Amino acid sequence: QNPGFYYYSGYVNPIEDRMREVKVTQAKRTVPPLQSVKVGVKLMRTGMYAFHTEPYTARQEVSAAFSDEELCSLAALQVMPPARLYVLLQKRSPYKEFFVWSMARLWERGHVSASQRRFPDELAACSGRKPRALALGQAAPAFLLLLAGLGLAGGVLLAERACHRFHPPRRLLHRRRGSAESFHFN
């Protein structure tokens, strides 16, 4: 991406614009701005550099170069938000049916989902091997709501049992019309 050039002109963030102006446009560089993924990840590991790349190209390098604690502390800045791509065709084009048919065939055979699995959009996340403390104070309202729901369910259960004990179902008290047998209750 060229400094100062935006692919979507409607995106405005003054903090990012100021940071880009100071760090990218007017920066005095000791390292060339274009680096390979391997070198860029090494520079990023020093903590003094940011590296712009597609997430799936840096995924293996980042997961190999950083430890679990460092992976958890990594942050990403979304410079170009992902956008869906569309096929542009002339109105009433004879090729429209061909593209619709081809795309449906790709979806049916699983090529689209296979490419999405192969090139995911996110970087490697924390593996969860290192335990982290859970703050139960923040989860207290959820636990209280769970207990209230359990209490309400128990109350409804007891009320239903009491209703059925003192008021038996009415269908047993009445004789069915047209049947040979009759019920007598004393």
Give yes or no for a contact between 117 and 105, defined as CB atoms under 8 angstroms apart.
Answer: no
Residues 30 and 95 in one domain: yes
What local confidence, expressed as pLDDT, does residue 153 receive?
A: 97
**Is 30 among the domain residues?**
yes
- The candidate with the shortest Cα–Cα distance to 116, out of 148, 77, 87, 82, is 82
Split at pLDDT 50, 70, 90, the class of 122 is low
Residues 75 and 150 in one domain: no
| Residue ranges making up the domain that contains 158 | 137-172
**Is 181 among the domain residues?**
no
**Is 184 among the domain residues?**
no
**Is 64 among the domain residues?**
yes
First to last CA, the chain: 92
Contacts of 58 (CB under 8 A, 6+ apart): 37, 40, 41, 51, 123
Which tens digit of pLDDT belongs to each residue from 154-168?
Answer: 999 999 999 888 886
**Is 110 among the domain residues?**
no
- Examine the pLDDT at 136 and tell me if it is beyond 80: no
Q: How many domains does the chain have?
A: 2
**Is 114 among the domain residues?**
no
Of the three residues 100, 116, 148, the one that is the final residue of a domain is 100
Model pTM score = 0.40
Give yes or no for a contact between 35 and 43, defined as CB atoms under 8 angstroms apart.
Answer: yes
Residues 18 and 95 in one domain: yes
Please give the Cα distance from 40 to 31 (Å, whole number).
Answer: 10
Residues 18 and 93 in one domain: yes
Residues 23 and 68 in one domain: yes
Which tens digit of pLDDT belongs to each residue from 52-94?
Answer: 877 777 777 887 888 877 777 777 666 666 666 677 788 888 8
Our CA angle for 50, 5, 75, nearest 5°, is: 25
DSSP code string of 7-75: SSTT---HHHHHHHIIIIIS---SS-S---HHHHHHHHHHTS------HHHHHHHHHHHS-HHHHHH--
